[in-house]
Amino acid sequence: MTTITTTTASTTGTGGGSRRAVGIRGEMTADDLAKYGLRDRWYPILPSRMVGSGEMKKVKRLNIDWLLFRDAQGVVHMLEDRCPHRSAPLSVGQHLGDRVACAYHGVQVDGTGKVVSVPGMPGCALEGKQATVSLKVVEAADTIFAFVPLTADSEPTPFILPDRLASPEHSWFPNYAEWAGPWRFYMDNVLDPMHGAFLHRDSHSMFAGDTSARFRIRETDRGFFFEKTDQRGKNFDWVEYVRGSMDYVDLEIPYAENAGPGGVFGIVGMSCPVDEHNSAIFHWRTRKVQGWEREVWRFLYRTRLEAKHWEVLEQDRVVLEVLADDADVDEHLYQHDLGVSRIRRIYRADAKKQAAILAGELV
């Protein structure tokens, strides 16, 4: 079931109205943005199950350290993991229900990033100040999402889940992995359906179909399809890249009859940069099934299919992790790589635009 809870947000503590990137204390160039992650979009941060009640969870995302914690109502908050006093990590402090206390001198910060108490000097000017970066968080599809703003002036866009995850007709299972590869390699990989017929040739789901194909790009009002022109419904034959409130890919892979009722296997995929070399990978494995078919699919998935899907995902991980850091320099691309070229162009343009905003050249 998809439940959505929203927390309030504040991005102060970043120079209030300045052109500094939120959570960054120096300059940020277009290259940095491309490396560490583009801003002004929603990202999946962590599966909900990984932040327990009373827990102080430290994560790195977009090259910044963050603290995730649930308040007494179970609502998740995401603060920069940096005390507004003298920058000790808040994550080594104490969880106090609706706030956290820094271990170093006891300063208390609530889920909105506001300093609520300075026990060493009650009444000092720091009290009441919005002094820690706090992101707007939504919990949905068993996942914690956050809007990562470019600057303190950035307005969070509406949170809209991918179609398959929002649809009551679909049943899904989330899947989370951490890969030692840059996030851009993940996007390149999913915009490259042809690897299904080679890398995954011996898998349970991508053994069929031709090993040669022609592709085309089909523009949509929310992104584009990259699809084979001469084969459909046999292998990984198409992918849609969607640029909505979050970037994601949507694709379908045919299932064999013994995979139970419900037709094709739908996948929604997203990645969140950890740092220059690592990414957090999120997939939701979906099927359009209802009633008893839904129960059969859920049973089959848990008992048999999930392990097979992990094997496929491992094939991707192994290749991406051995790619050189500069693997995307000096390539020899051909027609099958049009999707890869397109996504790179989109992200390069985004990075340049965001760098220009930071430099004050664009509003």
Contacts 24+ apart (CB under 8 A), 257-260: 259/204, 259/205, 259/300, 259/305, 260/293, 260/296, 260/297, 260/300
Measured distance CA(340)–CA(279) in Å, rounded: 18
The listed partner (ligand FES, Fe ion, none) that binds 107, CB under 5 to 8 Å by sort, is ligand FES
* Contacting residues for 299 by C-beta, under 8 A, at least 6 apart: none
Q: Which does 71 bind (CB under 5 to 8 A by kind): ligand FES, Fe ion, none?
A: none
Token code pair at residue 58:
């430290």
Instruction: CB nearer to Fe ion: give 4 or 180.
Output: 180
Q: Which is nearer to Fe ion, 71 or 316 (CB)?
A: 316
Convert residues 314-333 into a mask of x (bound to Fe ion by CB under 5 A) and - (unbound): --x-----------------
Task: Show contacts with ligand FES in window 339-358 (CB under 6 A).
Answer: none
Q: Are 67 and 304 in contact (CB under 8 A)?
A: no
Candidate segments 69-77, 98-106, 158-166, 308-316, binder of Fe ion by CB under 5 A = 308-316
Give the x/- contact pattern for ligand FES in 71-110, rule: CB under 6 A: ------------x-xx-x-------------x-xxxx---
What is the C-alpha separation between 39 and 339, in angstroms, rounded? 22
Query: With contact defined as beta carbons under 8 Å apart, do 100 and 57 qualify?
Result: no
The residue among 83 and 259 lying less far from ligand FES, judged by its C-beta, is 83
Measured from the CB atom, the residue of 52 and 119 that comes closer to ligand FES is 119
Q: Which does 83 bind (CB under 5 to 8 A by kind): Fe ion, ligand FES, none?
A: ligand FES
Token pair 């022609």 is at which residue? 214
Cβ 105 to ligand FES shortest distance, Å: 3
In the DSSP assignment, the letter for residue 188 is H
Nearer to ligand FES, 13 or 266 (CB): 13
Q: How far apart are CA 92 and CA 331, in angstroms?
A: 44
Could you tell me which residues are beta bridge partners of residue 175?
283
State how far the Cα of 196 lies from the Cα of 202, in Å rounded to an integer.
10
Per-residue tokens: 181? 């590869």
Cβ-based nearer residue to ligand FES, 67 or 83: 83
The tokens for 19 are 């052109």
Q: How far is the CB of 41 from Fe ion (least distance, A)?
A: 23
Q: Indicate which of Fe ion, ligand FES, none lies near residue 344 (CB less than 5 to 8 Å, by partner kind).
A: none
H/E stretch holding 320: helix 306-322
The residue (of 107 and 191) whose beta carbon lies closer to ligand FES is 107
> By the criterion CB under 5 A, which residues form the site for Fe ion?
316
> By the criterion CB under 6 A, which residues form the site for ligand FES?
83, 85-86, 88, 102, 104-107
